């Protein structure tokens, strides 16, 4: 008979992280640039106190265990207090992406059955329009102080967040919840169909937060000043609000001010050492820094994910600004971190170009996540850096089902069930370094061979005249599909179609070079900053490729 351990039995709870931060980093600052434009200074002790007040306030509003508290908000201390106040007290924090179309926002709030909706002042006009359509919301709470409340509004009984908190004592003991209870919900904004909800648990969130802070992952310590550029409505800002509490570091919240100039000023004034975000944000920041011949005085490393970081951007950050770039990959269904690219001792002995090529991959799985690549029949493929297949994952912080959807999205690998199909196509090398070669639906199928759109985009992005590039499949009478390069030029730059195509010579196999180039003023993005390839494909459906 199995012998059981004789250890204390404590659930893994989000509230424990906040308690730890309050006790061991009580005076460590939480700095927020507010919607109003001013800078607000708080610390972990105050955030903990106000989170307990928020828990009491939600209870007073009639919220019961498992009820959803929706948020429509930027990164800021009040959002953080709702994260902990709601989840910690047994409610479910449901972050909604305000960049979605209004009808999607309504659909998501109704699907999640949000009981309370908290929103930043920015979104008052939007919520005034949408409130009547949100059938389950009983209380609308504006995340501001009394002084900033509107004199009149179309929202009946609009509540003021700071007032709600002021009415409570904060004398509140976090409940001992089931660690598998839901803590938060985040909807994926799929490019097709309705959004789907990922429902995280306290256990999955806490385990993810520990693993994400490890030296081979985000490497967060109490000596860091962390600025999450990635929004708190994007998979919980990649878990940083939780990892930051575990290590008790200073947090700098940018609010809605994500332009290059605002970010740079915040980086410098608060001496930010570490940040995380999608490539497009760094594009804006780098443009500002370059244009004004500025340097960073404290910024040391950044995790870039959400989309592949163009190698040219990685090189600029590393070589011109001395910033370590940690390439990461994950998804909403994975809480989100899956892999990060950090070199091992052995790899640090390789020639610089080989090291660079490894850093451009998405990296190794964090301990807690398993990966496999499989063919269309579910057979696992070798880890040789050559074979590419459908990437599947499993682990402590991977979903098993979507919210309100009893069908299982999971697949089998070599007959073993329980793997989540990511929809990405990837290679994995012998050291476990994974590289996304494409989204399975973005691969260009040319005469039976697969061409990675990402490879072609990265090459175009390395051209000095190119600001952004996307490669899509265009119909071809002979080859079925051929790559078409869509390009946005840098302000003031110019380049011809033929010069751009010649730029591919020697950088990739001849048969993979795009057949044509289209210059556009803008490439369409999803609400989460990803290129909308489906939209691009629709747009250029009628594009006639030149015949050789």
Q: Indicate which residues carry an active-site annotation.
A: 188, 333, 445, 450
Nearer to a second copy, 183 or 422 (CB): 183
Q: Of the candidates 199, 281, 313, 413, which one interacts with a second copy according to CB under 8 A?
A: 199
Q: How far is the CB of 277 from a second copy (least distance, A)?
A: 21
Nearer to a second copy, 355 or 532 (CB): 355
The DSSP element (H or E) to which 488 belongs, if any, is strand 480-489
The binding track of 63-82 with respect to a second copy, each residue x by CB under 8 A or -, is --xx-x--------------
Q: Which span sits near a second copy by CB under 8 A: 181-189, 307-315, 494-502, 524-532?
A: 181-189
Within positions 81 to 140, which residues make up the interface with a second copy, using CB under 8 A? 90, 92
Residue 157 binds a second copy (CB under 8 A): no
Quick check: 125 and 98 in contact, CB under 8 A? no
Q: Of the candidates 57, 96, 246, 487, which one interacts with a second copy according to CB under 8 A?
A: 246
Quick one: tokens of 188? Answer: 């994926």
Nearer to a second copy, 192 or 345 (CB): 345
Within positions 418 to 477, which residues make up the interface with a second copy, using CB under 8 A? 418, 420, 430-432
Q: How far is the CB of 210 from a second copy (least distance, A)?
A: 5
Closest by CA position to 488, among listed 286, 325, 290, 283: 283
Quick one: tokens of 248? Answer: 């008790």
> How far is residue 483's CA from residue 20's CA, in Å, rounded to a whole number?
52
Closest by CA position to 36, among listed 130, 148, 125: 148
Q: Of the candidates 180, 292, 354, 496, which one interacts with a second copy according to CB under 8 A?
A: 180
Q: How far is the CB of 200 from a second copy (least distance, A)?
A: 6
Q: How many residues bind a second copy (CB under 8 A)?
A: 85
Q: Give the count of beta carbons closer than 10 Å to the beta carbon of residue 214.
A: 16
Quick check: 116 and 61 in contact, CB under 8 A? yes
Quick check: 486 and 502 in contact, CB under 8 A? no
Q: Of the candidates 70, 98, 195, 395, which one interacts with a second copy according to CB under 8 A?
A: 395
Nearer to a second copy, 66 or 322 (CB): 66
Dihedral-angle region of residue 296 (phi above 0 means left; psi in -120 to 50 means alpha; beta otherwise): beta
Dihedral-angle region of residue 29 (phi above 0 means left; psi in -120 to 50 means alpha; beta otherwise): beta
In the block, residue with structure tokens 């697949």: 411
Q: How far is the CB of 141 from a second copy (least distance, A)?
A: 20
Within positions 335 to 374, which residues make up the interface with a second copy, using CB under 8 A? 342-346, 348, 364-365, 367-368, 370
Q: How far is the CB of 392 from a second copy (least distance, A)?
A: 12
Residue 34 binds a second copy (CB under 8 A): no
Nearer to a second copy, 323 or 399 (CB): 399
Residue 399 binds a second copy (CB under 8 A): yes
Residue 394 binds a second copy (CB under 8 A): yes
Within positions 201 to 230, which residues make up the interface with a second copy, using CB under 8 A? 201-204, 207, 210-211, 213-216, 219-225
Nearer to a second copy, 23 or 146 (CB): 23
> How far is residue 405's CA from residue 407's CA, in Å, rounded to a whole number?
6
Q: Which span sits near a second copy by CB under 8 A: 9-17, 34-42, 52-60, 152-160?
A: 9-17
Q: How far is the CB of 263 from a second copy (least distance, A)?
A: 20
Residues 6+ apart with CB under 8 A from 350: 358
Residue 251 binds a second copy (CB under 8 A): no
Quick check: 198 and 332 in contact, CB under 8 A? yes
Within positions 285 to 324, which residues make up the interface with a second copy, using CB under 8 A? none
Nearer to a second copy, 71 or 458 (CB): 71
CA distances from 214 to 50, 210, 247, 366 (A): 29, 7, 10, 9
Q: Which span sits near a second copy by CB under 8 A: 25-33, 95-103, 129-137, 527-535?
A: 25-33
The DSSP output letter for 323 is P
Residue 249 binds a second copy (CB under 8 A): yes
> How far is residue 59's CA from residue 91's CA, in Å, rounded to a whole number?
9
Quick check: 201 and 13 in contact, CB under 8 A? no
Nearer to a second copy, 83 or 397 (CB): 397
Quick check: 101 and 189 in contact, CB under 8 A? no
Q: How far is the CB of 329 from a second copy (least distance, A)?
A: 14
Residue 272 binds a second copy (CB under 8 A): no
Q: Of the candidates 74, 123, 264, 402, which one interacts with a second copy according to CB under 8 A?
A: 402
Q: Of the candidates 28, 302, 341, 528, which one interacts with a second copy according to CB under 8 A?
A: 28
Give the three-class secondary structure for 14: helix
Sheet holding 364-365, edge to edge: 39-43, 29-33, 250-253, 225-228, 274-277, 301-304, 324-330, 337-340, 364-365
Nearer to a second copy, 144 or 201 (CB): 201
Q: How far is the CB of 154 from a second copy (least distance, A)?
A: 31
The DSSP element (H or E) to which 253 belongs, if any, is strand 250-253
Q: Of the candidates 248, 256, 277, 306, which one interacts with a second copy according to CB under 8 A?
A: 248
In the block, residue with structure tokens 């967060």: 220
Nearer to a second copy, 284 or 409 (CB): 409
Positions of E strands within 54-162: 68-72, 92-95, 114-119, 139-142, 159-160
* Dihedral sign (CA 269, 270, 273, 275): negative
Quick check: 491 and 524 in contact, CB under 8 A? no
């Amino acid at each position: 008979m199995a012998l059981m351990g004789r250890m204390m039995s404590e659930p893994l709870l989000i509230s424990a992280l906040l308690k730890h931060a309050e006790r061991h980093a009580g005076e460590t600052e939480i700095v927020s640039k507010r919607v109003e434009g001013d800078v607000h200074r708080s610390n972990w002790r105050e955030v903990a106190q106000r989170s307990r007040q928020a828990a009491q306030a939600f209870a007073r509003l009639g919220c019961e265990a498992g009820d959803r508290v929706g948020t429509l908000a930027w990164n800021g201390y009040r959002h953080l207090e709702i994260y902990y106040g709601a989840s910690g007290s047994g409610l479910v924090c449901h972050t909604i992406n305000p960049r979605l179309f209004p009808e999607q926002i309504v659909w998501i709030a109704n699907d999640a059955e949000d009981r309370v909706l908290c929103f930043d002042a920015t979104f008052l006009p939007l919520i005034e329009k949408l409130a009547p359509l949100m059938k389950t919301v009983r209380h609308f709470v504006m995340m501001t102080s009394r002084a900033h409340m509107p004199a009149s509004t179309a929202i009946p009984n609009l509540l003021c967040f700071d007032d709600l908190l002021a009415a409570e004592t904060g004398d509140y003991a976090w409940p001992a919840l089931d660690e598998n209870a839901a803590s938060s919900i985040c909807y994926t904004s799929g490019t097709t169909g309705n959004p789907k909800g990922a429902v995280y648990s306290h256990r999955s969130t806490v385990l993810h937060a520990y693993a994400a802070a490890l030296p081979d992952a985000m490497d967060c310590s109490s000596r860091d000043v962390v600025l999450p550029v990635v929004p708190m409505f994007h998979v919980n800002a990649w878990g940083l609000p939780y990892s930051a509490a575990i290590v008790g570091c200073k947090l700098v919240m940018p609010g809605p001010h994500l332009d290059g100039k605002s970010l740079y000023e915040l980086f410098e004034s608060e001496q930010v050492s570490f940040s995380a975000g999608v490539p497009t944000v760094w594009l804006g920041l780098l443009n500002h820094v370059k244009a004004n011949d500025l340097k960073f005085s404290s910024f040391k490393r950044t995790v870039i994910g959400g989309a592949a970081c163009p190698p040219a951007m990685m090189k600029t950050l590393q070589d011109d600004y001395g910033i370590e770039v940690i390439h990461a990959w994950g998804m909403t269904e994975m809480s989100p971190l899956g892999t990060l690219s950090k070199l091992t001792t052995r790899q640090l002995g390789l020639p610089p170009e080989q090291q660079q090529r490894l850093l451009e991959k998405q990296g190794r799985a964090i301990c807690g996540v398993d990966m496999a690549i499989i063919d269309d029949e579910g057979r696992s493929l070798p880890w040789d850096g050559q074979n590419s297949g459908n990437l599947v994952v499993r682990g402590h912080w991977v979903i098993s089902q979507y919210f309100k959807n009893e069908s299982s999205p999971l697949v089998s690998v070599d007959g073993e069930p329980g793997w989540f199909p990511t929809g990405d196509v990837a290679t994995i090398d012998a050291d476990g370094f994974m590289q996304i070669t494409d989204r399975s639906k973005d691969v260009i199928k040319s005469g039976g061979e697969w061409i990675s759109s990402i490879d072609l985009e990265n090459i175009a992005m390395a051209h000095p005249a190119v600001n952004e590039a996307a490669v899509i499949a265009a119909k071809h009478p002979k080859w079925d599909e051929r790559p078409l390069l869509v390009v946005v030029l840098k302000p003031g730059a110019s380049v011809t179609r033929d010069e751009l195509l010649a730029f591919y010579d020697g950088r990739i196999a001849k048969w993979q070079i795009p057949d044509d180039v289209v210059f556009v003023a803008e490439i369409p993005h999803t609400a989460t900053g990803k290129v909308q390839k489906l939209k691009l494909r629709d747009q250029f459906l009628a594009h006639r490729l030149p015949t050789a």
